[in-house]
Structure 1
Amino acid sequence: MSKKILIVMSLFIMLLHSTVASAIGFKYVEIFDPKQDKVVKVVQLNDEIHNMVVSSIKDVDSLYPKSKPLTDDGYAIRVPIYPAVKVQGKCLNALVDNVFIIIPQHDAPFFMIFEDDNKLLCFPFKGNVSTLSKILDFKLKS
């Protein structure tokens, strides 16, 4: 009887442990609408999104020209970078694990990246917004 209980408990613990381990692997892209003040869509991070964002941040060669880049319109997209990517360039030298892509309605899109010491830097987003919109299955520009 005690062997049966031990076996059942062992199986239960293994089943519970494997469920938790598999849930840790999922990362999600969040699309935030400042007008609604909420996340309007969540998309599971995939290789296409990851590769597009990582290649864009590695091509950063200048800072965003506006002194106050934030607006109350458009969308903000948080993209987790997993695994984190070390970027060493002219304007950025950091281990990047999150990228915020800001897409205002009337201005050029840009990245917001926090450096290792939590210093916020903004860079022009040179990626194609239409392609990003298609990948996320969400209309980003009107």
Structure 2
Amino acid sequence: MVRKILSLVVLLTLFIFSLQVNAKAIQIEIFHINKGKVIKEEPSTDHIQREVVTILEGITDVYRGFEPIPQKGYMVKIPLENAVEVKNKWLNTSVNEVILIFPEYENPHLMVFGAENSHYFFHFDTSVDEILSELGLRFKGQRKE
């Protein structure tokens, strides 16, 4: 009887632990600008988290376009599991979330959320192909460099 109770306690503990692990999964949201809604959610992976850090390290300039949020395209919101310190000539802050912006017929650019919920827009020279592949995304009209 004690053995059964002990087994039940162990199983219950494992079940509760697995629920907590699943509840903490970081969700990436894919937003369709034209439709005005999130069309897909995917759990983040360590690989995607590392790719985002590489993108942050590859910032090349401030986005100077008139309309940083386009009328047509997609946005991919990626919360970071651990904040990343970004220090370059355009930005000196801790970043906890990024949004990759994919205008319909331009190369993607980046929206960064820093301390105190401030946001900034940047160009970067890092490929996003691995992130898109891992998320099962392919956006039509994307220009290749």
TM-score (norm 2): 0.79
Q: 1:21 offset after TM fit, Å?
A: 2.3
Q: TM-score, normalization: structure 1?
A: 0.81
Contact 1:74 1:141 in 2 (8 A): no
Structure 1 pair 138–122 and aligned structure 2 pair: CA distance change class (3 A): same
Number of aligned residues: 141
What is the CA-CA distance between 1:78 and the residue it aligns to? 0.3
1:51 aligns with 2:50: yes
Check conservation: 1:26, 1:45, Cα contact below 8 A: yes
Superposed CA RMSD in Å reads: 2.6
- Note the alpha carbon deviations across 1:115-138, whole angstroms, 9 max, x for none: 202222100132224443222211
- Which residue in the other structure is 2:103 paired with? 104
* Residue 141 (structure 1) aligns with: 140
Q: Quote the Cα distance in structure 2 between the aligned partners of 1:136 and 1:13.
A: 33
Matched with 1:67 is 66
> Aligned partners of 2:131, 2:8: CA distance in 1, in Å?
47
CA gap 1:79/1:17 in 2 versus in 1, 3 angstroms: same
1:27-65: CA deviation from partner (whole Å, max 9, x where unpaired): 121111011222112222112211111111022242012
Distance 1:89 1:42, change over 3 A: same
Is contact 2:60–2:125 with CA below 8 Å preserved after alignment? Answer: no
Deviations 1:95-126 (A, max 9, x none): 11110000001223111012202222100132
Amino acid at match of 2:24: G
Separation (CA, whole Å) in 1 of partners of 2:19 and 2:131: 31
Q: Mind listing any 5+ residue stretches in structure 1 that lack a counterpart?
A: none
Counterpart residue type for residue 132 of structure 2:
S
Return structure 1 stretches of 4+ with deviation > 6 angstroms.
6-13
Q: Is the 8 A contact 1:75 1:102 kept in 2?
A: yes
1:1-142 maps to which residues of 2 (within 5 A)? 14=13, 17-142=16-141
Counterpart of 1:110, as a letter, is H
